[in-house]
């Protein structure tokens, strides 16, 4: 979807933010298709997917698995799970926030999709595709479909400190 639309605009005619904005819009479009009742727009038209008791934002990550945002008070509040001023309307404001994100290589390739939980402005845990195991063979799994008969088993990687202790909690 993204590749088809980005090819329609020659590189010399692209605004600085076109690629990032278009990619984000296409990810949102896909999520809206597969989760038609589980999304809403929060304050400042921030897309939020609400699943399994979590609010999930879609962002590009930097090399430290932190979302690439311009630092603002709202961004700082989100990174500290302080959500009281983040949503318009009467939505559950105590729901934890996760980021679904990706990284982009120097060649422009998207890679390393993951879910990240950030609190106290630090990455607390990460779930990558390597952490998801299903009972169905890989060729039978269709991504991002909530009614899939295969239920994933997920193990989070805790990143509380830079020193490895060799144990998981």
Average pLDDT, stretch 28-48? Answer: 91
Q: Does residue 113 fall inside a structural domain?
A: yes
The total of structural domains in the chain comes to 1
Domain span holding position 45: 2-7+15-137+150-158
Cross-strand pairs, 127: 115
31: its two tokens: 């999520």
Percent of residues in the chain assigned helix, strand, coil, to nearest 5: 25, 30, 45
- List, for residues 112-151, the tens digit of each pLDDT value: 889 998 888 888 899 988 887 766 555 555 554 444 455 5
Q: How far is CA 130 from CA 71, 74, 79, 142, in A?
A: 30, 32, 25, 16
> Residue 92: is its pLDDT beyond 90?
no
Neighbours of 98 (CB within 10 A): 20
Q: Does residue 167 fall inside a structural domain?
A: no
Average pLDDT, stretch 4-8? Answer: 87
pTM surpassing 0.75? no
Q: Does residue 44 fall inside a structural domain?
A: yes
- Tell me which of 46 and 165 has the higher pLDDT: 46
Task: Name the one residue in this structure whose structure tokens are 């060649």.
Answer: 107
Q: Does residue 77 fall inside a structural domain?
A: yes
């Amino acid at each position: 979807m993204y590749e088809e639309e980005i090819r329609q605009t020659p590189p010399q005619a692209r605004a600085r933010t076109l690629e990032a904005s278009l990619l984000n819009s296409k990810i949102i479009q896909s999520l809206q298709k597969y989760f038609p009742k589980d999304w809403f727009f929060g304050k400042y038209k921030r897309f939020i997917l609400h699943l399994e008791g979590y609010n999930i934002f879609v962002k590009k990550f930097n090399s430290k698995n932190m979302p690439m945002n311009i630092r603002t008070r709202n961004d700082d509040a989100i990174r500290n799970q302080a959500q009281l001023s983040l949503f318009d309307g009467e939505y559950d404001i105590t729901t934890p926030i996760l980021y679904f994100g990706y990284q982009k290589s120097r060649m422009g390739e998207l890679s390393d999709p993951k879910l990240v939980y950030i609190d106290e402005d630090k990455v607390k845990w990460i779930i990558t595709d390597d952490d998801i195991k299903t009972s169905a063979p890989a060729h039978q799994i269709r991504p991002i479909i909530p009614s899939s008969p295969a239920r994933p088993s997920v193990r989070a990687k805790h990143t509380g400190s830079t020193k490895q202790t060799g144990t998981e909690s």
